[in-house]
Amino acid sequence: MIIAHTSPWGGVLNVTEYLTAPWFALLVGMSLLLAWDRADGRAGLFILGNTARGVILIAVGEWLQRTYGQIDVVLQTLGLLTIVLAPAVVLVGQRWQVWTSVAAVMAVLSPIVMSSGRAWLDGGGWETGWVGHVVELAAAGTHYRVTSFLAIAAAGIAAVPALRAGWGTGRRGVGLTIGLTTAAAAVYVFGKASPWGADAYSGSTPEIVGAILLSLAATVACAWITGALGERRVRAWIGAVVDTGRMAFTACLATSWAWLRVFPTGPLEMILRLPATGLVRAIDRPRL
């Protein structure tokens, strides 16, 4: 994310544009599944808490969009994705076959829905106010769409059992990282040569599939690094980067490291956790 937002436009570092937003979507899906595993079966609490988190992300994203009009803010789309995914995670759980099917279907369906949504907006849909904005976030956005992100997030959820089984460690982790990266490159090359295209954010099927493979490759690579070095060495050698990842919402390289020496999480991350923690405390409060 930092490289994508700070590197000169047109250089080799622009390849990060293919990974930044899709990796966010993949990690949202994986994180929701991991959070559901720790929710002790409290489906209502889990859905309400993550719905509130999604609303906060949307609100902050809308404020940032009005403040920084020169960039397209992704938080609103990730917030709506969280709201959509939370009940789906409760319903489907860890059934990777279902999530794989969702990823495949949405990778094909999303470009069709995107075209239809844009045609509707251009035909007068923008005049519907907030309804048109929801359609934009859900399916017709210039750069970000829940439909595209849903395919990527579903693929991430489907990959969780494999990562838990150790597929990201040792030689298998290296081979899987290389294989996924090579497959992603092949898909992008195919997409570039096809009528659909494969530019970053384009929302075409090749772009979505390539984003899935590239995001999975990056995730497996991180798992391999952690397994090879051990968590203690990772924190000692690249602790500032890890801490920035833990405070991705607040996101400042220097202050993240200093802040987490004192507090358990970032200030904006604390706000995101308030709905869920507040609901837990209210439910678990002893009654006289």
More confident of the two residues 102 and 272: 102
- When pLDDT is averaged across residues 87-107 and rounded to a whole number, the result is 97
Say which range, 20-34, 140-154, 233-247, 258-272, has the weakest mean pLDDT. Answer: 258-272
Indicate if the pLDDT at residue 287 is higher than 70: no
- When pLDDT is averaged across residues 196-217 and rounded to a whole number, the result is 96
For residue 21, being part of any structural domain is answered with: yes
- When pLDDT is averaged across residues 204-208 and rounded to a whole number, the result is 97
User: Which tokens in the block code for residue 65?
Assistant: 């969009």
Span 112-149, pLDDT tens digits: 999 999 999 999 999 999 999 999 999 999 999 999 99
Say if residue 8 is in the same domain as residue 135.
yes
* Of 215, 221, 152, nearest in space to 183 by CA: 215
Say if residue 129 is in the same domain as residue 236.
no
Q: How many other C-beta atoms lie within 10 A of the C-beta of residue 88? A: 19
Say which range, 74-88, 223-237, 264-278, has the weakest mean pLDDT. Answer: 264-278
- Global confidence as pTM: 0.86
CA 133: distance to chain centroid? Answer: 20
For residue 84, being part of any structural domain is answered with: yes
**271 vs 200: CA distance, rounded Å:** 31
Angle at 271 between CA 270 and CA 277, to 5 degrees: 75
- Percent of the chain at pLDDT > 70 equals 91
Phi, psi (degrees; rounded to nearest 5) at 198 = -150, 30
Say if residue 138 is in the same domain as residue 64.
yes
* Of 16, 18, 141, 8, nearest in space to 74 by CA: 141
Say if residue 8 is in the same domain as residue 151.
yes
For residue 203, being part of any structural domain is answered with: no
- When pLDDT is averaged across residues 175-195 and rounded to a whole number, the result is 96
Say if residue 121 is in the same domain as residue 39.
yes
What pLDDT is recorded for position 37?
93
Say if residue 125 is in the same domain as residue 260.
no
Average pLDDT score over the chain: 88
**DSSP-derived secondary structure letter, 139:** I
Say if residue 30 is in the same domain as residue 116.
yes
Domain residues for the domain of 268 are 230-288
Indicate if the pLDDT at residue 59 is higher than 60: yes
- When pLDDT is averaged across residues 52-71 and rounded to a whole number, the result is 89
Q: What is the dihedral of CA 125, 131, 132, 136, to 10 degrees?
A: -140
* Of 46, 54, 53, nearest in space to 76 by CA: 54
For residue 126, being part of any structural domain is answered with: yes
Span 69-81, pLDDT tens digits: 878 899 999 999 9
Say which range, 74-88, 93-107, 169-183, 263-277, has the weakest mean pLDDT. Answer: 263-277
Contact at 8 Å (CB) between 191 and 210? yes
Say if residue 146 is in the same domain as residue 50.
yes
Say if residue 43 is in the same domain as residue 135.
yes
Say if residue 236 is in the same domain as residue 140.
no
Domain count, the chain: 2
Contact at 8 Å (CB) between 189 and 206? no
Q: Is 7 left (phi over 0), alpha (psi -120 to 50) or beta?
A: beta
* Residue ending a domain, choose from 164, 185, 207: 164
* Of 161, 159, 169, nearest in space to 224 by CA: 169
More confident of the two residues 120 and 278: 120
**146 vs 82: CA distance, rounded Å:** 9
* Residue ending a domain, choose from 137, 164, 191: 164
Indicate if the pLDDT at residue 288 is higher than 50: no
* Residue ending a domain, choose from 164, 189, 211: 164
For residue 188, being part of any structural domain is answered with: no
Say if residue 153 is in the same domain as residue 245.
no
Say if residue 267 is in the same domain as residue 151.
no
For residue 93, being part of any structural domain is answered with: yes
For residue 250, being part of any structural domain is answered with: yes
Span 159-184, pLDDT tens digits: 999 999 999 999 999 999 999 999 99
For residue 31, being part of any structural domain is answered with: yes
